[in-house]
Amino acid sequence: METPANCAVLNTNESLKLSITNHLRFTLGAYVESASENDWFVATSLAVRDRVMERATQSRTKHRSQGVRRVHYLSLEYLMGRLLENNLRNSGLYDIAKQALKDMGKDLDTLLQKEPDMGLGNGGLGRLAACFMDSLSTLDLPAIGYGIHYEFGLFRQEFVNGRQVEHPDAWMRDGSPWKIARPSYRQTVHLYGKVIQKFDEFGHPHHEWVETKCLLGLPWDIPIVGYDSSTVNVLRLWQAQADEDFNFQVFNEGSYVDALREKAIAETVSKVLYPNDATESGKELRLVQQYFFVACSLADIVRRFKNGYNLPWSEFPSKAAIQLNDTHPAVAIPELMRILVDVERIDWAQAWAICQKTFSYTNHTLLPEALETWSTALFERVLPRHLQIIFEINHRFLTGEVEARWPGDMEKKRVLSLIEERGGGKHVRMAHLSVLGGHATNGVAALHTRLLCERLFPEFFELYPDRFLNLTNGVTFRRWLDVCNPQLSALITESIGSGWLKDSSKLRELDRFADDSSFRERFQQIKRGHKVHLAKIIQDTCGVSVSPDALFDVQIKRLHEYKRQHLNLLHIVSLYRRLLENPQLDIAPRVFIFGAKAAPGYYLAKNIIHAINALANKVNHDPRVGGKLKVIFMPNYGVSIAERIIPAADLSEQISTAGKEASGTGNMKLALNGALTIGTLDGANVEILEEVGPDNIFIFGLTVEGVTDLYKRGYNPWDFYWASEDLRLSLDWLASDYFTGNQDEFKPLRDSLLTHGDPFLVMADYDAYAASQAEVDKAYRDQPRWQKMAIHNTARVGKFSSDRTILEYAEKVWKLPQVSM
Ligand SMILES: *Cc1c(COP(=O)(O)O)cnc(C)c1O
């Protein structure tokens, strides 16, 4: 489509200036002379949005007119971060905008800092969804992301006396320039009520779900701007609203206050993101949230199918692929069955075939405590018809395919059932529902997928071997290199051209520069510049001064025992102790940097945060360590803070217990920015090792098989406690009254590692970790060697671009065409 020459939205300096001042004057009602910095941020964002929305409309029109299959990505979480800089860089407007604002006396980089993070996710899973949206638009793939418009994203974290305190994250209190309401696509959602069976005039039965409570879902669209691409897909987020009709009745009865209370209750559904990561929450509101989101999204997809084409239902899968990001949206499977069977009156077998062709499922965890189940009692109350449908799916499965394969085998039926019976209660296994209701189930790294097939779903794998596949995660190199590290991006482009931004395999061409000492010098200077910048941020937020010449050792990720921040902690305690014993100890100065939020109800995780802060408080004020050791816990870890820490990192801590981290994506971002990994053979670390080579990574500790063997022999953490004096003294010192004045403060931490059996094998891996850290120290003191290793990391991690991941999904799972505009 052509843009008329007199159109106001051109990608030129003059046109952008006009747009910005027009938005200041007419949208915001501000005087250009006295507008606030926030007004300037909003006006600039709106000017960019104007230039993007037309492409969003064109993309939608083209996808519809060509009748192509689209993928619908269903995720309860999207960890988007800030959008303005990303959208400017992706659409090639950054330099133009910088100059235009400069001409008007404004500094773009200052305005960028005004944008609040869009933090509608907990961690890796939500950030993966955001990276995928970027890749889908960049690769011209027809896609819609669906999510929830949470009023409050992940809590804002503060430390008070070293302890985590949570505050609400009112990210959209001032509105957001990126989201656009779409009231004409509002949906109605039913909940609760009961099911009755009815018969038509031919005596055919069907089910009706009656006496329900109603909610409305209002969609908000956020345009997703790809890099150097004309496709703009949208992220559609649903906000819960009260059904006005429902209120009206109560209102007529004169109960105005009750009516408004109902309204407030209805609106709690999209109020807040559940802050649990890697644990299942099991609350009624959470189930209502999941169903609300799924019902709105499916109704939207079905509306588009019915209005767009005059096709039989059997063609539905040829127009719509639906990806389930973990089991959180798995209730979509019985919901589509309900629509097809109860509303569209399609027979069960045909409906089930449509369902299986439409859905695919990504598993994100092997941790038993994170596998979602819902009690059938709760399910029946909230979604009575859906529970019936799940029972019928299960009955047909167990008496059909399972019985045919393993006749008379009750044990096979018990382990495969969608319903788990435990402790007198029955629970729906959402993971089993997800595997059964789709045509593909994928893990997110090679090791994880192997364990998925061998350990989590061995019987499903035996029944349906072709349904399982691996799709190793990736991250977008735009945000995680071009946007957060423009200096390195420019150096790479200067050296090998800009093709790597869209074809990450080209990064390998950088490998040969590792032997070029002048390139190494520039690579190192860029890293140092980021370290200087981060040191300033640390000074401003933590009041601690750190040297940019020290080794920046970084562990940033959710706080969880399986990620083993406490293994890192114990090693720092040991270093501190050894430095006090011998102040001449010859080690490279180090700054240990943590960033992590703990789930508010996860007591031990919070105890670990407190312990790290208590240690930091002692170390950072102890003149005896001579500046060789600093410990920083950056509060409120999120996407924007990650974008400051990652380019400044020398060492990336990826030290989870083998077999516990599905993939990790932080590991990829850090390696891409030239940090060396110290890590276990877990998740995608295994593949990072394959790519960068054993000389450019520090691998230590038990393997998955080693862990299994250790448990077979019988694991006793006390054996390791008594065998290692270093470990014993460090743990005992940490748990003493020395760091807080209270000898019971870190008793929960010590107990978990000793009396409670050390479930994540911190004690077993400690010595190997400490030895590997000594290797790191040695390598860092040989700077030319270190810089070579760092360059090899950046050059060799092209595999971990989310573009590669998304192209694999598009080819192997979704069968999507690339549609350029
Ligand atoms: C990448 C990312 C994560 C995931 O980190 P892991 O180390 O893979 O757990 C979590 N939070 C944020 C803000 C991220 O950017």
Could you report the per-residue pLDDT of 440-454, keeping only the tens digit for each? 999 999 999 999 999
Q: Report the pLDDT averaged over residues 132-145.
A: 98
Counting from 1 in the atom list of ligand 1, the atom nearest the Cα of 475 is: 1
Ligand 1 binding pocket includes 665 (Cβ within 6 Å): yes
Q: What is the mean pLDDT of the chain?
A: 96
Mean pLDDT within 53-82: 94
DSSP symbol at 408? T
Question: How far apart, in Å, are the Cα atoms of 384 and each of 106, 194, 293, 295, 397?
Answer: 58, 6, 17, 14, 20
* Spacing, Cα 595 to ligand 1 middle (Å): 10
Please give the model's pTM, rounded to 2 decimal places. 0.97
Rounded to the nearest 10 degrees, the angle between the axes of helix 348-358 and helix 384-397 is: 90
At 626, the pLDDT band (50, 70, 90 cuts) reads confident
For tokens 């060396």, name the residue. Answer: 676
Helix (H, G, I), strand (E, B) or coil at 67: coil
Determine the distance separating the centroid of ligand 1 and the alpha carbon of 127, expressed in angstroms. Answer: 7
127 lines ligand 1 (CB under 6 A): yes
What's residue 1's pLDDT? 40
Is 750 touching ligand 1 by the criterion CB < 6 Å? no
Residue minimizing CA distance to atom 5 of ligand 1: 666
Atom of ligand 1 nearest to the CA of 563: 9
Ligand 1 site, residue 226, Cβ cutoff 6 A: no
Q: Quick one: tokens of 56?
A: 């969003």
- CA–centroid distance, residue 634 to ligand 1 (Å): 14
What DSSP element (H or E) covers 84? helix 84-90
Q: What's the rounded Cα separation, in Å, for the pair 362 and 663?
A: 12
Query: What is the length of the chain?
Result: 821
Nearest alpha-carbon partner for 681 in 672, 689, 673: 689
Residue 375 CA, ligand 1 centroid: distance in Å: 31
CATH number at 562 reads 3.40.50.2000
Please say whether the dihedral angle defined by the alpha carbons of residues 311, 314, 315 and 320, taken in this order, is positive or negative.
positive
* 482 domain-assigned: no
Ligand 1 atom closest to Cα of 81?
A: 13
Minimal-distance CA residue to ligand 1 atom 9: 557
Confidence of residue 3 (pLDDT cuts 50, 70, 90): very low
> Is the Cβ atom of 660 under 6 angstroms away from ligand 1?
no
Is the CB of 126 inside a 6 Å radius of any atom of ligand 1? no
pLDDT-derived band at 259, boundaries 50, 70, 90? confident
Measured torsion, CA atoms of residues 304, 310, 313, 317, in degrees rounded to the nearest 10: -60
Please, what's the largest Cα pairwise distance for the chain? 93
Q: Are 48 and 298 in contact (CB under 8 A)?
A: no
pLDDT of residue 246: 58
Q: Which ligand 1 atom is nearest residue 654's CA?
A: 7
At residue 55, what is the residue type? R
Distance from the alpha carbon of residue 239 to the mean position of ligand 1, in angstroms: 26
Q: What's the CA gap between 247 and 262, in Å, rounded?
A: 7
Only one residue has tokens 């931490």, namely 749
413's tokens? 């039926």
Residue with CA nearest ligand 1 atom 8: 664
The pLDDT value recorded for residue 258 is 78
Number of domains composing the chain: 1
- pLDDT category at 250 given cuts 50, 70, 90 is low
CA distances from 328 to 279, 292, 362 (A): 12, 12, 11
* 280 domain residue, yes or no: no
Q: Residue of the nearest CA to atom 4 in ligand 1? A: 124
The residue range of the domain holding 558 is 503-703+764-801
Separation of 123 CA from ligand 1 center, angstroms? Answer: 5
Q: Whose CA is nearest to atom 11 of ligand 1?
A: 123
* Protein residue with its CA nearest to atom 10 in ligand 1: 123
Pocket test for ligand 1, best of 557, 559, 651, 657 (most atoms within 8 A of CB): 557
Q: What is the pLDDT of residue 247?
A: 55
If one residue of 157, 556, 680 were mutated to test the ligand 1 pocket, choosing by the most ligand atoms within 8 A of its CB, it would be 556
* pLDDT of amino acid 820: 85
pLDDT of 7 reads 53
What sign does the CA torsion over 421, 426, 429, 432 have?
positive
Q: Is-contact 27 19, C-beta < 8 A? A: no
User: Which atom of ligand 1 approaches the CA of 664 most closely?
Assistant: 8
How many angstroms is it from 666 CA to the middle of ligand 1? 5
Residue 586 lies in a domain: yes
pLDDT for 280: 87
All residues at 6 or more sequence positions from 21 whose CB lies less than 8 Å from its CB, including other chains: 32, 43, 104
Cα separation, 60 vs 185, whole angstroms: 15
Identify the sign of the CA torsion 226, 230, 231, 234.
positive
> Is pLDDT of 352 > 70?
yes
Mutate to test the pocket of ligand 1, among 127, 131, 484, 805 (most ligand atoms within 8 A of CB): 127
Q: How far apart are CA 520 and CA 783, in angstroms?
A: 10
- Residue-level pLDDT at 282: 84
Residue 5: pLDDT over 70: no
565 C-alpha vs ligand 1 centroid, how far in Å? 14
Hey, CA dihedral for 75, 79, 81, 87, is it positive or negative?
negative
C-alpha dihedral, 673 to 677 to 679 to 682, nearest 10°: 40
The angle, 0 to 180 degrees and rounded to 10, between the axes of the packed helices 37-66 and 13-22 is 110
Indicate whether 527 belongs to any domain: yes
pLDDT band at residue 218 using 50, 70 and 90 as cut-offs: very high
Residue 81 Cα to ligand 1 middle (Å): 12
Note whether residue 684 is domain-resident: yes
Ligand 1 neighbour 664 (Cβ under 6 A): yes
Domain assignment present for residue 731? The answer is no
User: Which residue has the CA at smallest separation from atom 15 of ligand 1?
Assistant: 639
Q: Is 639 in the pocket of ligand 1 (CB under 6 A)?
A: yes
Active site residues: 364, 557-558, 563, 665, 669
Rounded-to-integer distance, Cα 535 and Cα 463, Å:
55
Q: Are 353 and 316 in contact (CB under 8 A)?
A: no
What's the pLDDT score for residue 257?
79
Q: Summarize the confidence of residues 361-373 as an average pLDDT.
A: 96
Q: What is the DSSP letter of 694?
A: G
The percent of residues above 90 in pLDDT, for the chain, comes to 94
Query: How far apart are the C-alpha atoms of 347 and 353, rounded to whole Å?
Result: 10
**Nearest atom within ligand 1 for CA of residue 669:** 1
Considering only CA atoms, which of 752, 774, 763, 629 is closest in space to residue 698? 774
Query: Is residue 124 lining ligand 1, measured as CB closer than 6 Å?
Result: yes
Is pLDDT of 4 > 70?
no
CB of 123 closer than 6 A to ligand 1?
yes
Q: What is the per-residue pLDDT for 279? A: 87
Q: Is residue 307 assigned to a domain?
A: no
Strand order in the sheet with 419-422: 373-375, 425-429, 419-422
Ligand 1 centroid, distance to 385 Cα (angstroms) = 38
Instruction: Work out the average pLDDT over 767-776.
Output: 98
Q: How far is the CA of 710 from the centre of ligand 1 (A)?
A: 30
For residue 821, pLDDT beyond 90: no
Please report the atom of ligand 1 found closest to the CA of residue 556: 7
Over pLDDT 70: what percentage of the chain?
A: 98
What is the C-alpha separation between 59 and 564, in angstroms, rounded? 45
Of ligand 1's listed atoms, the one at least distance from the Cα of 663 is: 8
Which pLDDT tens digit goes with each residue over 445-492? 999 999 999 999 999 999 999 999 999 999 999 999 999 999 999 999
Least confident residue range of 279-283, 529-533, 554-558: 279-283
Q: Are 708 and 657 in contact (CB under 8 A)?
A: no
Cα(678) to centroid(ligand 1), Å: 16
Mean pLDDT, rounded, for 740-767: 98
- Of 114, 94, 141, which is closest to residue 42 (Cα–Cα)? 114
**Angle, in degrees to the nearest 10, between helices 94-103 and 37-66:** 150
Task: For ligand 1, say whether the CB of 119 is within 6 Å of any of its atoms.
Answer: no
In a domain, 361, yes or no: no
* 662 close to ligand 1 (CB < 6 Angstrom): no
